[in-house]
Amino acid sequence: MQLAMIATLIDSLLIGGPKPFRSDGTQSAMAREATDAPVMLRQNGFDGDQVADPSVHGGPEKALHLYPPEHYPYWNIKLDGHSLLKQAGAFGENISASGMTEEKVKIGDRFSMGAAVVEICQGRQPCWKIDHHFGVHGLSREVIRTGKGGFYFRIIEEGIVQRGDVIQQIAAADHEWTVARVFKLLIAGGHRADGARADLAKLVELETLSAVWRNRAAALLSQALS
């Protein structure tokens, strides 16, 4: 049960665009750069921030990616002090802010962020690009195993956001579907556990969950019932 509304600060704000990623011409926008300038946050993300493959990244329900800095010590040990971990942005995040881990926040939690208002709508599922970005085979599997993927916001009200701005929770979801719990069920194999059908059915009806993840819940439920 959540006893207090979350309040924290934006430690880093990062934006960027597609850059050459590997020799076959694949591009990625994962290597974002920190900025101290105020940036307009719109329905599809920050002005000046782009994705390389809009078929799977970006859009209104992946407008803003937050990655908890609390995870960095774990990865520093796991990856032997990898150079990418010396500053925020190693996981392609737009926002670094402490106190908002996947176990603490829920789908549908709403926050003011600078002059904008945002709402958590799904976790971040890693892909092979994280492996290539770090040069570590199997890293995406470890992100899934640990659930340390961060999460996405949809934008409720557009506004200017800047490093150092307050992130203040203004509404708490009226359920117990944390990002961590949803991620485990839909991405990390939890759908195979006893009793998962009932949980999947609940997620199908969870309106604040992104459409993509609601559809995934529906597909997993259909498989379980077949």
Q: Can you give the pLDDT at residue 167?
A: 98
Domain range summary for the chain, segments of one domain joined by +: 7-175
Q: How far is CA 120 from the centre of its chain?
A: 9
What pLDDT digit, counting tens, does each position of 71-83 carry?
999 999 999 999 9
Q: Can you give the pLDDT at residue 2?
A: 54
Overall average pLDDT of the 196-202 stretch: 97
Evaluate if residue 221 carries a pLDDT over 70: yes
Q: Can you give the pLDDT at residue 52?
A: 60
CATH superfamily of 7-175: PK beta-barrel domain-like (2.40.33.20)
Q: What is the mean pLDDT of the chain?
A: 93
Q: Give the Cα-Cα-Cα angle 175, 180, 182 (nearest 5 degrees).
A: 60
Overall average pLDDT of the 139-155 stretch: 98
What pLDDT digit, counting tens, does each position of 71-130 carry?
999 999 999 999 999 999 999 999 999 999 999 999 999 999 999 999 999 999 998 889
Q: Which residues contact 190 (CB under 8 A, 6 or more apart)?
A: 184, 196, 199
Which tokens sit at 225? 């019932």
How would you write 170-224 as a 3-class SS string? EECCCCCCEHHHHHHHHCCCHHHCCCHHHHHHHHHCCCCCCHHHHHHHHHHHHHH
Overall average pLDDT of the 50-56 stretch: 69
d(Cα 192, Cα 6) in Å, to the nearest integer? Answer: 33
Which tokens sit at 58? 């970006």
Q: Do residues 63 and 50 touch, judged by C-beta distance below 8 A?
A: no
